[in-house]
Structure 1
Amino acid sequence: MGPLRVGYVREHFSSPLLQFAEADQGKTFTLVECPSGTGQLISRLTNNEIDVAIALTDALVSGIAKGSKAYKLVGSYVNSPLNWAVITGNSSSFNSIADLKDTTIGISRHGSGSQTMAFVMALQQGWSPTTLKFQVNNDIKGLISSVNDSSTSAFMWEWFTTKPWLDSGEVRFIGSVPTPWSSWLIAAHPSAERAPKEAVRSFLNSLTVYVATFDSKESRDSKNVPFVQKTWGYPEADIKEWMSTVKYTTDCTTISSAVLSEVLRILSTAGFITSPEGVVHPSAKPIGPLCAL
């Protein structure tokens, strides 16, 4: 068994993971970038291209609820909500979320956060989920092209990740939809051959140390802004605004059963999934088909 193959999305949320990877130097895990987001992470877990994934809560939970056997939930990463911008073309006719009713929404992949959050947006707007139409555009560049060539009306992506295209005038933001749950969980393939429990536990325990350091007051006051600025080139003001909203977990080995219950409740109400019975015990750690370890 070689190092764990850990899939991730290379954006500012992955800062503690990148710091951990730099220190580990490939001894216990290697990083596999998945720029298309959680849909691609789930696909790579399915296709034996990665063993562990740090991905969006709603897409991971809904994937299992829809029958995926490619992974189990093993831990948590970010406890604060994710703020999804609703993004349209720079010269489109859409000026509010309400204008998007009965139009085609761009998504990265089926089952991705960009799709699950479109159902949440529809629920908030009172739209029937059966009226939602989607076009797959693979990644952020494809999504931006689609709203500017009018093949889609809008797409949803994390606010600060897409803000550089807003600042350059390539797109417009017409609203936002924060997740009604903590935003990032950690999943692993269920087989002992690909993701041995002890190796996964060791990874999660070590990641907890880097997350705690990054989330500490000392790092927030001195180290985080220059690290994020150097790594991604975001303006200092945007980094500070993001840092004021993000809160990482205090223990990457834990998962909140309340969070899982809320995701299942909202996504089933929105029409995206049929919530499985007996998945989460109401007063204990998550059980059943969702979680391992």
Structure 2
Amino acid sequence: MKKVNIGGVPEHFNLAWYLTLKNGEYKEQNINLRWHDYYGGTGAMCKGLRNGDIDIAVILTEGIIKDIIDGNPSKIVQTFVQTPLIWGIHVAADSKFKTIEDIKGTRAAISRYGSGSHLMAYINAKNNDWDLEKDLDFEVIKNLNGAIEGLTNAEADYFMWEKFTTKPLVDDGIFRRIDNCPSPWPCFVIAVREEFIKNNENDLNIILDIINQTTAEFKSIPSIDKTIANRYEQELEDVQEWLSLTEWSQEVIDKKTIKTVQEQLFDLNIIPKKVDYSQLIHKL
């Protein structure tokens, strides 16, 4: 049986992977797919791909594009979630900050440099016409638990993370959300190490066929809203809102989207150059 390691964030976006694993669908095809939770998000997964700890990552679009340009020997094989990620901008519940203008020039908590929380802080700054040199400051907090500690202890001032994942922390009075910042492109893609693609293209096609069949039918799974609410400790109406806003994809990311992402990242000095579509994408 072929062993394949895959990584992703332990969030509701990836429930389809859990369901297909639980049903033994990969084992039926002689593939031992092992899921690894990456609480550190995109930056940690980029490192996992580089090290060969994982073969496949379900990862933020902007993060993996940046890391491939920086030398990660991986390629994007398809879009996973077509809709933008809605990033909530959070402060500690008792913070003096009330608006976006209040957090200008303060310390953004980020999981690590090159992570989604880092890159989206630049997008938010650009959206609000901040000076990218003077108005951005960062504090590395590793993960969501680190952000709770960092904001509560005033080691950082604001934190950007997916709105629905952090909603329970807002409900519990740990964070206060002052605004939202949607990513300007499809949020999650599936990236694979080039070496794995070269040697295991057939297995990769099987894995993608299985997950794509599930995501195509995901919203029609009976009581899927209740399943998500229970598993991720979220309010049912929040899950229903999230499901209404979220669309999965079974397609390769297009040239126009790749161009848009690169232009934004280049303008923000996050990437040193723009590269050809073929350097980022592998069409199976």
Q: Is this contact kept in 2: 1:114–1:156, CA < 8 A?
A: yes
Structure 2: distance between partners of 1:198 and 1:98: 51
Partner of 1:134: 138
Which 5+ residue runs of structure 1 have no aligned equivalent? 281-286
**What amino acid sits opposite 2:86 in the alignment?**
N
Q: In the TM superposition, what is the alpha-carbon distance from 1:194 to its structure 2 partner?
A: 8.5
Q: 2:157 aligns with which of 150, 153, 159?
A: 153
Q: In the TM superposition, what is the alpha-carbon distance from 1:26 to its structure 2 partner?
A: 6.2
Q: State the percentage of identical aligned residues.
A: 28
- Within a 5 Å distance, the mapping from 1:74-153 to structure 2 comes to 74-131=77-134, 132-153=136-157
Q: Is this contact kept in 1: 2:55–2:196, CA < 8 A?
A: no
Structure 2: distance between partners of 1:26 and 1:202: 8
Q: For each residue in 1:53-98, what CA deviation from the matched residue of structure 2 results, as whole angstroms up to 9, or x when unmatched? A: 0011111111122x22231111111001110000111111211111
**What amino acid sits opposite 2:43 in the alignment?**
G
Q: Is residue 30 from structure 1 mapped to residue 34 from structure 2 by the alignment?
A: yes
- Structure 1's 97 and 4: CA in aligned 2 closer, same or farther, altered over 3 A? same
Q: Is this contact kept in 1: 2:266–2:274, CA < 8 A?
A: no
Q: In the TM superposition, what is the alpha-carbon distance from 1:154 to its structure 2 partner?
A: 0.3
Q: For each residue in 1:145-182, what CA deviation from the matched residue of structure 2 results, as whole angstroms up to 9, or x when unmatched? A: 11111111101000000010100001111111001111
Structure 2: distance between partners of 1:94 and 1:11: 28
Q: In the TM superposition, what is the alpha-carbon distance from 1:123 to its structure 2 partner?
A: 0.6
Structure 2: distance between partners of 1:176 and 1:69: 30
Partner of 2:209: 205
**What amino acid sits opposite 2:6 in the alignment?**
V
Structure 1: distance between partners of 2:224 and 2:71: 36
- Within a 5 Å distance, the mapping from 1:1-293 to structure 2 comes to 2-24=2-24, 27=27, 28=31, 29-65=33-69, 67-131=70-134, 132-192=136-196, 196-215=200-219, 218-219=220-221, 222-249=222-249, 251-252=250-251, 254-277=252-275, 279-280=276-277, 287=278, 289-292=279-282, 293=284
- Structure 1's 192 and 272: CA in aligned 2 closer, same or farther, altered over 3 A? closer
Structure 2 SS opposite 1:72: strand
Q: In the TM superposition, what is the alpha-carbon distance from 1:25 to its structure 2 partner?
A: 6.4
Q: Is this contact kept in 1: 2:263–2:274, CA < 8 A?
A: no
**What amino acid sits opposite 1:89 in the alignment?**
A
- Structure 1's 204 and 147: CA in aligned 2 closer, same or farther, altered over 3 A? same
Q: Which moved more, 1:17-26 or 1:232-241?
A: 17-26
**What amino acid sits opposite 2:18 in the alignment?**
L
Q: Is this contact kept in 2: 1:265–1:275, CA < 8 A?
A: no
Structure 2: distance between partners of 1:174 and 1:264: 28
Structure 2 SS opposite 1:244: helix
Q: In the TM superposition, what is the alpha-carbon distance from 1:211 to its structure 2 partner?
A: 0.6
Structure 2: distance between partners of 1:70 and 1:95: 42
TM-score of the aligned structures, taking structure 1 as reference length: 0.90
Q: In the TM superposition, what is the alpha-carbon distance from 1:119 to its structure 2 partner?
A: 0.6
Q: Which moved more, 1:52-61 or 1:67-76?
A: 67-76
Q: Is this contact kept in 2: 1:12–1:228, CA < 8 A?
A: yes
Q: In the TM superposition, what is the alpha-carbon distance from 1:45 to its structure 2 partner?
A: 1.0
- Structure 1's 195 and 71: CA in aligned 2 closer, same or farther, altered over 3 A? farther
Structure 1 SS opposite 2:23: helix
**What amino acid sits opposite 2:274 in the alignment?**
P
Q: Where do 4+ consecutive residues of structure 1 move more than 3 Å?
A: 192-195
Q: Which moved more, 1:82-91 or 1:127-136?
A: 127-136
